[in-house]
Amino acid sequence: VPAFAEPFGLGRAALPEEIAAWNLDVSPDGTGLPPGSGSVADGEELFSDRCAVCHGEFAEGVDNWPKLAGGMDTLNRKDPLKTVGSYWPYLSTVWDYAHRSMPFGNAQTLSADETYAIVAYIIYSNDLVDDDFVLSNENFLEVEMPNADGFIVDDRETVEYPEFSKPACMENCKESVEITAHATVLDVTPNDPNDDAPAAEAPA
């Protein structure tokens, strides 16, 4: 935008304390991890107090709440179980997310050491470390995440776009058409309480 090449002089300098207060993200190479440590044993206790009501004592999940452990080798099956152990590529994400956004409803209440301990317990629950393991900023990158190599960068441009940018058929595109699935068989759509029609059907 050439007309505005000069700064407007709006805003003010961000102070180091302010940046430190908000800049909590942790990258896969460990950048952003504060010094600290926590053991599986401490994590078990913390997890029981702070996390288990939703995520279960063994991180296996309660009701519809997210399961944090289990599901190994299910990703290529119907209904894969995606957990920290079976799916997440980086431990940094576990630390970052737990530290910043958990517990649900009471976020940003975990100290660095508490977060290390809870993360240690979560990876223990996924059989990735032994019960005497102590996680710290020093050994953080040594933990191997099973699905670290399970991701590819969006390849739709090469895999899908050529296929989906061919001229579209307009006439006699197929021999026959059969209905192969009905939503009403499942009957899971919330209904208007006053009638049997689908939810929020327009009044006549």
Partner 1 sequence: MDEKERESSGLAMGRRGFLRAGAAAGALVTGAGAARAEGPDPLITEVQPWATGFGDGVDATPYGLPIKYEADVVRRNVGWLTADVISSINFTPIHALEGTITPQGCAFERHHSGAIEMRKEDYRLMIHGLVDRPLVFTYEDLERFPRVNQTYFLECAANSGMEWAGAQLNGVQFTQGMIHNMEYTGVTLRTLLEEAGVQTAGKWVYVEGADASSNGRSIPIEKALDDCLIAFKANGEALRKEHGYPVRLCVPGWEGNMWVKWLRRIEVMEGPVESREETSKYTDTLEDGTSRKWTWVMDAKSVITSPSPQMPIKHGNGPLVITGLAWSGRGAITKVDVSLDGGKNWKEARLANPGQPMALTRFYLDINWQGEEMLLQARATDDTGYVQPTKDQLRAIRGENSVYHNNAIQTWWVKSNGEAENVEVS
Q: Quickly list DSSP for 84-102.
A: TTTT---HHHHHHHHHHH-
- Applying CB under 8 A, the site for partner 1 has a residue count of 91
- Alpha-carbon torsion angle 140, 144, 149, 151, nearest 10: -60
Query: In the range 118-147, which residues lie near partner 1 by CB under 8 A?
Result: none
Nearer to partner 1, 42 or 94 (CB): 94
Query: In the range 31-70, which residues lie near partner 1 by CB under 8 A?
Result: 54, 63-66
Q: Is 158 in the site for partner 1 (CB under 8 A)?
A: no
Tokens of 106: 């009471």
Nearer to partner 1, 79 or 130 (CB): 79
Nearer to partner 1, 35 or 198 (CB): 198
DSSP 85: T
Q: Is 197 in the site for partner 1 (CB under 8 A)?
A: yes
Nearest Cα neighbor of 30 from 111, 108, 140, 149 is 140
Among 36, 100, 134, 141, binds partner 1 (CB under 8 A): 100
